[in-house]
């Protein structure tokens, strides 16, 4: 018997099956042969939240949740955060290698070339209610881009695919900033392509009457690092949405809109906004014990804590926590930081959190930084969506070149009624 197999005995029939093990996984399809009789459909695995199911093979991002390790294409996140830039990291995720000087210049120019959006997009952003949530506006607007670029449907045409990738990376900050300006009732600011990717984003967000916007270098650098940290995170809820929708051969704008929808939820990217709301609700350090009690009683969750994959300190949270102090030296200390630090201290010493291996995640401190930079909490998840677009597209591109690509179509365990006859309305 080969070593790299799994032997399964079906106690219902007494039959034994030998199933290959490859990359520490078995293929769920190999279970189908396990049947009690000829009419049996065959055995399936049941895993409603993908808790223990690999949905793809990927070379983009590696996470060891037990050890708190995160690597993009093999490079540790700490090294990238210290030495790289978001645009370089986006290139790395999308093309598999760090760019040479020449490749980087070409990539940067290619992205800059697409930062402007069609004037009609501005008009329909205008159509959103004055208080529309920026994530809702972002979702709708990115989805609508597919109507401006119908050739995006040609997903197997490499040239078209590359064009849409450049457009999406370039236009996300513009759309995000326009949604923000709409929300606060300020005129839209057009891209300034002399600035860096992040510098230009700050220009579109915050420029008032000055002729030339000069980004604060500390804030520009901090956002660049935050963007790198958020750029990819393997098969999370929104990336799975991107792959899932993309598997039907939908265009990348529609798939990205679906991913934005998934990110919006408070259990995913929406957690950074939820953390700020939570810290404000707690209000002062003396209220923390009562809050922790309500978390332990299951009445609420400690937002920004816990992760499906990390069962150790999220490495991104560690980098952000350290960065926060540098930003606060520039912007003034966010008064909510004291509540956050105390909350973290108490939670990390508490049995409830220790037993469940709940540690701060990427969203615990990022909102505090964004708020101190003057961003409204409704923009926090948008700040997650901009860089994650690079990861979504890298995973989408990888999926399209996978020779096992098929439309995603999960199975279900049907527990409903058996066949029954229709009863006319008058007889019910």
Site map (CB under 6 A) of ligand CMC, residues 219-238, x = contact: --------------x--x--
Give CA–CA dist 134/177, Å, rounded: 9
Q: Cα-flanking dihedrals φ and ψ of residue 71, to 5°?
A: -135, 135
Please identify which residue in 271, 276, 282, 336 interacts with ligand CMC, judged by CB under 6 A: 271
Q: Which residues are catalytic?
A: 268, 307, 363
Give CA–CA dist 394/90, Å, rounded: 8
**Interacting span for ligand CMC (CB under 6 A) from 126-134, 161-169, 297-305, 334-342:** 297-305
Name every residue whose Cβ is closer than 8 Å to that of residue 123 and which is 6 or more positions away in sequence: none
Q: How far is CA 101 from the centre of its chain?
A: 29
Please identify which residue in 155, 302, 324, 383 interacts with ligand CMC, judged by CB under 6 A: 302
Within 10 A of 285 (CB to CB), how many other CB atoms are there?
13
Q: Is 46 helix (H, G, I), strand (E, B) or coil?
A: coil
Q: Which helix (H) or strand (E) holds 346?
A: helix 336-349
Tell me which residue has its CB nearest to ligand CMC: 306
Q: Is 299 helix (H, G, I), strand (E, B) or coil?
A: coil
Q: Give how many residues touch ligand CMC by CB under 6 A.
A: 20
Using the minimum distance from each CB to ligand CMC, give the nearer residue, 140 or 269. Answer: 269
Give CA–CA dist 19/33, Å, rounded: 10
Using the minimum distance from each CB to ligand CMC, give the nearer residue, 191 or 367. Answer: 367
* CB of 250 vs ligand CMC, minimal distance in Å: 23
**Interacting span for ligand CMC (CB under 6 A) from 38-46, 129-137, 355-363, 372-380:** 355-363
Please identify which residue in 301, 311, 318, 376 interacts with ligand CMC, judged by CB under 6 A: 301
* CB of 313 vs ligand CMC, minimal distance in Å: 12
Using the minimum distance from each CB to ligand CMC, give the nearer residue, 185 or 298. Answer: 298
Report yes or no: 399 and 243 within 8 Å, Cβ to Cβ. Answer: yes
Pinpoint the alpha helices (H) of 96-157. 101-112, 119-126, 134-148
* CB of 307 vs ligand CMC, minimal distance in Å: 5
**Interacting span for ligand CMC (CB under 6 A) from 102-110, 136-144, 301-309, 388-396:** 301-309
Please identify which residue in 81, 137, 175, 358 interacts with ligand CMC, judged by CB under 6 A: 358
Report yes or no: 377 and 274 within 8 Å, Cβ to Cβ. Answer: no
Does 261 bind ligand CMC (CB under 6 A)? Our answer is: no
Does 267 bind ligand CMC (CB under 6 A)? Our answer is: yes
* CB of 357 vs ligand CMC, minimal distance in Å: 8
Within 10 A of 63 (CB to CB), how many other CB atoms are there?
21
Residue reference for tokens 């949270």: 317
DSSP-assigned letter for residue 30 = G
Binding site for ligand CMC (CB under 6 A): 233, 236, 267-269, 271, 295, 301-308, 356, 358, 361-363
């Amino acid at each position: 018997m080969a070593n790299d197999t799994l032997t399964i005995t079906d106690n219902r029939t007494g039959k034994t099956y030998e199933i290959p093990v490859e990359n520490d996984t078995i293929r769920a399809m190999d279970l189908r042969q396990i049947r009690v009789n000829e009419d049996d459909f065959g055995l399936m695995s049941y895993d409603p939240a993908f808790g223990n199911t690999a949905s793809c093979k990927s070379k983009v991002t590696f996470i060891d949740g037990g050890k708190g390790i995160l690597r993009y294409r093999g490079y540790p996140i700490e090294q990238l955060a210290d030495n790289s830039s978001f645009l370089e990291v986006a290139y790395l995720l999308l093309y598999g290698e760090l760019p040479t000087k020449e490749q980087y210049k070409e990539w940067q120019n290619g992205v800059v070339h697409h930062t402007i959006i069609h004037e009609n997009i501005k008009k329909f952003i205008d159509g959103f209610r004055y208080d529309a949530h920026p994530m809702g506006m972002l979702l709708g607007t990115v989805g609508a881009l597919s109507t401006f670029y119908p050739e995006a449907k040609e997903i197997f045409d490499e040239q078209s695919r590359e064009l849409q990738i450049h457009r999406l990376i370039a236009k996300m900050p513009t759309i995000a900033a326009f949604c923000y300006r709409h929300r606060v009732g300020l005129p839209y600011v057009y891209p300034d392509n002399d600035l860096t990717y992040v510098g230009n984003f700050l220009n579109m967000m915050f420029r008032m009457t000055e002729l030339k916007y000069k980004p604060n270098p500390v804030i520009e650098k901090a956002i660049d690092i935050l963007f790198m940290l958020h750029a990819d995170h393997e098969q999370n809820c929104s990336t799975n949405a991107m792959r899932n929708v993309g598997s039907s051969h939908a265009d990348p704008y529609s798939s990205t809109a679906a991913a934005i929808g998934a990110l919006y939820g408070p259990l995913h990217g929406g957690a950074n906004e939820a953390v700020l709301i939570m810290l404000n609700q707690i209000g002062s350090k003396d209220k923390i014990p009562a809050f922790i009690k309500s978390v332990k009683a299951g009445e609420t969750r400690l937002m920004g804590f816990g992760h499906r994959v990390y069962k150790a300190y999220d490495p991104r949270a560690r980098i952000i926590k350290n960065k926060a102090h540098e930003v606060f030296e520039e912007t003034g200390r966010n008064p909510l930081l004291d509540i956050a630090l105390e909350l973290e201290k108490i939670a990390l010493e508490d049995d409830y959190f220790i037993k469940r291996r709940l540690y701060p995640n990427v969203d615990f401190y990022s909102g505090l930084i964004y708020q101190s930079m003057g961003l409204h909490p409704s923009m926090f998840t948008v700040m997650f969506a901009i860089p994650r677009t690079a990861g979504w597209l890298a995973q989408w591109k990888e999926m399209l070149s996978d020779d096992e690509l098929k439309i995603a179509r999960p199975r279900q365990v049907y527990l409903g009624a058996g066949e029954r006859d229709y009863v006319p309305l008058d007889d019910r």
